[in-house]
Amino acid sequence: MESLSERVERLREQIRYHDHRYHVLNAPEISDAEYDALYRELVHLEESHPQLITPASPTQRVAGGVSPAFGTVGHSLPVLSLGNVFNEGELRAFDARVQGELGAAAPVPYVVEPKIDGLSVILSYAGGLLRAAATRGDGITGEEVTANVRTFPSVPLSLPAGSGIAHLEVRGEVYLPRAEFARLNREREDAGEPVFANPRNAAAGSLRQLDPQVTAARRLRAVFYEIRQLAGRRPAHHHESLELLDELGFATPESRLVAGSDEAYAVVREWEERRHQLPYEIDGAVVKLDDLAQREVLGETSHHPRWAVAFKFAAEQAATRVLDIVVQVGRTGVLTPTAELEPVRVGGSTVSRASLHNEDLIRERDVRIGDRVIIQRAGDVIPEVVGVLKGERTGSERVFTMPASCPACQGPAVRAAGEAATRCVNPHCPAQLLQRLIHFCSRGAMNMEGMGPAMLEQLARSGLVKDPGDLYFLTREQLLGCERTGEKTAGKLLSAIAVSRQAGLARVLFALGIRQVGQRAAGQLAAHFGSLSSLMRASPDRLQEVPEVGPRTAQAITEFFSRAETQELVDKLARGGVRLELERDARAGSWDGLSFVFTGTLEGMSRVEAQSRVEDKGGRVAGAVTAATSYVVAGPGAGSKLDRARRLSVRVITEAEFLRLLTEE
């Protein structure tokens, strides 16, 4: 028993340490799967030996902590975490316990929701207005983050006047969409800053910014899934609570009402298969008892409710060997080390390389050539090395050293003071040119269909294209001189180039690849200045009048347009017939007053691109379906928003119909 006691206490110390790293410092050292294994072992030992349970055990309280950087808010009710299950058998055992305690003879109704990997937040409304927002913290006390949460477009600042609700408290999840996570990390790499390990860390770090303008620039989203307190009408079922939240203007998660564990497990499996098609990261699904009166019967422990459980998906990790570490050159000159791996299956696909981001990360994790490592795959983002199996080292492993020169042009590689990135400072580096061309022609930028990396590499290598402006002076004869390019292919490329001339000012700005300027900022800059010439003349103070532009972004824009090569490129684009002014025709503002809600998977464009296209025409994108919604665009996997649209007789269209609307005059 003495040895068992020591093991229990050691587990508690480890869990407390990792709770603090995860919830307070936003710097986890182990994967969720490793943490879950520690926690489950402690639960098992305490259940088997109740005499070892102490009030200070992590199993006897809600995990978490409060950062000293923020004021504190005491929660009106404890904010509990969820118990976990990991397989079908454990889910059935949960269901059997629920049925037994309720004395139910028929399958029990549940609501199944995706478990979004973000940060819990509690909102309080009084007099119909948002009064306070707080993080979960330790479940009893949270961090006051009202000013930051008010920057979220998905959070109502007031409740509808006719709702009849004076006081409301809701719980939701703050998250960073996949596309925004990728954009943010690209910008941080370009700026020489450390990248975020995962969307959850990025969301937590963004929500806890002391400057709300920084939070606003991170484009966080939030969904709300629980009414904690309500003065006025009171739903009897959870699915009705979600409908009420929708009516009040809150974004709610996709959800399914099911009967019994068989149907619940089928939905869980479906979401596990679809997890990479969703616009946000999920690490499982939540199964909740639908009947709120039955929830009162089951009650809760000090740690979690007895009426809900989180089904955690298997971690998308695998062990493999680092064969080599190679350095790739990005469009801004950043040298990014990448691990070449023994191919291994992770998350349904074969992985042969993984990002190492920068030299500091390699040193911090002590990754060496020849090491056995743990890699983790998160959606469409390139897999990354999250751990090293140091116990399997043989002594033959080699330490990686960042090169002193660019591997593409042999120019000097420089690491500026205070930056994590090493850069090639040669503006004529062929690798940088190729990456700039690829970005310029990409779908989110000038959208030159068919102008892919292989073709662009040929054009650059031959000297026909020295910057993106040269693309607009290519001839049919020059294209026919490229490998595997016939009359038909050359014609399609010339047509794509011609169409791109009318892509619009916002796309041109994004295509130029200015550091810190993503798609949304490009759109706002275009709308504010109206022409590229006006933007180029703008002072840093004028640039900062644009909501997405802070001091660093303004400096990056000013520096970019001050370069002689940039001015030469802009002149070349103008001579090539590219439209560099905001189009002000009959279509501008034609969607004024129209609102769109997207649900399910978009297959032809990202959610960010779809929102940008709607806003370009004067419309707006909402997170919830109401009677005032103009269109619901439904793709594969559409859930409760589609059901609500049909109940409210809101027009539902497919993605193809949405694209046709975009092209109409």
Active site residues: 115
Q: How many CB atoms lie within 10 A of CB 551?
A: 12
Return the axis-axis angle of helices 607-616 and 519-529, rounded to nearest 10°: 10
SS3 string, 94-107, reads HHHHHHHHHCCCCC
- Give dist(CA 50, CA 526) in Å, integer: 65
Which residue(s) pair with 169 in the sheet? 124, 229
What tokens were used for 362?
Answer: 């390699």
- Give dist(CA 224, CA 131) in Å, integer: 17
Which residue(s) pair with 126 in the sheet? 129, 167
- Give dist(CA 436, CA 330) in Å, integer: 8
Task: Decide if 652 contacts 636 (C-beta within 8 A).
Answer: no
Identity at 413, one-letter amino acid code: A
Which residue(s) pair with 172 in the sheet? 121, 224
Task: Decide if 207 contacts 220 (C-beta within 8 A).
Answer: yes
Task: Decide if 138 contacts 64 (C-beta within 8 A).
Answer: yes
The residues near 501 (Cβ < 8 Å, ≥ 6 apart) are 472, 576, 577, 578, 579
Report helix, strand or coil for 598: strand
Report helix, strand or coil for 66: coil
Radius of gyration of the chain (CA): 27
Query: Residue 121: which H helix or E strand, with range?
Result: strand 119-126
Query: Residue 495: which H helix or E strand, with range?
Result: helix 487-500
- Give dist(CA 500, CA 440) in Å, integer: 10
In this structure, which long-range contacts are made by residues 261-264, counting pairs with CB atoms below 8 Å and at least 24 apart in sequence? Answer: 261/91, 261/92, 261/94, 261/95, 261/96, 261/107, 262/107, 263/107, 263/110, 264/91, 264/95, 264/110, 264/112
The residues near 453 (Cβ < 8 Å, ≥ 6 apart) are 434, 438
- Give dist(CA 129, CA 166) in Å, integer: 8
